[in-house]
């Protein structure tokens, strides 16, 4: 150990906080280095002078007056402290809240009939009813929002009805699943999955 390495350890040594390998190395250095021993003695003299310095008497009530004059400590909200410790979770929560709000607004406002699918040539729309006539076939999924689906023919895919109902004739054939989404939460979950699928497919 050289003098440059020993100097910052002297204060810890004086406070009794230096232990282990560093304490042994410093003691060995002090035995061999007169300059560092002299420096340690100077530190000890200064510390003794400070300790012996008389403490002036404090006027009665001064401490309380000083404390009263200080501005009140601001109490940090627990939620604010949690946000500062977990920024990523906070951003995710805000994002979820915004998405939930927009989805719920869209759920309330979305009352128009919307029909989606890759093959809609055989589909007949009568008011708010989407009909797959008998003898006709729809290739792929059929999604209807805000209406009724009446399947008399064939659908080679899934039938998804949002805020509506499905009427299936005994002669009808649907190769996929029939999903009816009536609750706002289920609709929101469906929309989120749809959005994630679109994002993942975007190059």
Asked if residue 194 and residue 117 are part of one domain, the reply reads yes
pLDDT at residue 123 in the model: 92
Write out residues in the chain with pLDDT < 70, as ranges. Answer: 53-59, 62, 73-92, 95-111, 182-203
Asked if residue 88 and residue 153 are part of one domain, the reply reads no
pLDDT at residue 183 in the model: 58
pLDDT at residue 154 in the model: 93
Distant-in-sequence, close-in-space partners of 136: CB < 8 Å, separation ≥ 6: 122, 153, 154
Asked if residue 101 and residue 48 are part of one domain, the reply reads no
3-state secondary structure (DSSP) of residue 176: coil
Asked if residue 138 and residue 119 are part of one domain, the reply reads yes
Q: Name the residue among 105, 72, 92 with its Cα closest to residue 184.
A: 105
How many CB atoms sit inside 10 A of residue 180's CB? Answer: 15
**For the chain, what is the domain count?**
3
Tell me if 64 is assigned to some domain. no
Asked if residue 129 and residue 89 are part of one domain, the reply reads no
pLDDT at residue 127 in the model: 87
Long-range contacts formed by 149-154: CB under 8 A, 24+ apart: 153/122
Query: What is the value of pTM for the model shown?
Result: 0.39
Asked if residue 104 and residue 118 are part of one domain, the reply reads no
Asked if residue 148 and residue 117 are part of one domain, the reply reads yes
Separation of alpha carbons 39 and 46, rounded Å: 11
pLDDT at residue 30 in the model: 84
- In the block, residue with structure tokens 């009446």: 150
pLDDT at residue 37 in the model: 86
The answer to whether the CB of 142 falls within 8 A of the CB of 149 is: yes
Q: Residue 178 sits in which domain range?
A: 112-201
Tell me if 68 is assigned to some domain. no
Burial class from Cβ neighbours inside 10 Å (0-12, 13-18, 19+) for residue 65 reads exposed
Asked if residue 100 and residue 22 are part of one domain, the reply reads no
The answer to whether the CB of 130 falls within 8 A of the CB of 152 is: no
Q: What is the pLDDT of residues 29-50, one digit of tens each?
A: 888 888 888 888 888 887 777 7
Separation of alpha carbons 6 and 22, rounded Å: 9
Q: How many residues does the chain have?
A: 203
pLDDT at residue 14 in the model: 77
């Amino acid at each position: 150990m050289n003098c440059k390495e020993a100097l910052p350890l002297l204060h810890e040594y004086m406070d009794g906080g230096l232990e282990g390998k560093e304490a042994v190395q410093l003691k060995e250095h002090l035995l061999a280095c007169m300059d560092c021993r002299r420096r340690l003695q100077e530190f000890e003299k200064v510390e003794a002078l400070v300790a012996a310095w008389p403490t002036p008497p404090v006027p009665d009530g001064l401490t309380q007056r000083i404390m009263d004059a200080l501005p009140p400590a601001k109490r940090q909200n627990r939620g604010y402290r949690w946000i500062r410790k977990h920024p990523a979770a906070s951003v995710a929560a805000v994002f979820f809240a915004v998405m939930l709000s927009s989805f719920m607004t869209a759920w309330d406002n979305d009352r128009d009939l919307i029909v989606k699918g890759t093959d809609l040539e055989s589909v007949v729309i009568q008011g708010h009813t989407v009909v797959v006539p008998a003898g006709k076939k729809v290739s792929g999924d059929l999604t209807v929002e805000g209406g009724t689906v009446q399947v008399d023919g064939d659908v080679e895919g899934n039938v998804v009805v949002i805020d509506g109902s499905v009427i299936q004739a005994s002669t009808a054939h649907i190769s996929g699943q029939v999903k009816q989404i009536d609750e706002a939460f289920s609709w929101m979950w469906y929309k989120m999955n749809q959005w994630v699928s679109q994002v993942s497919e975007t190059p």
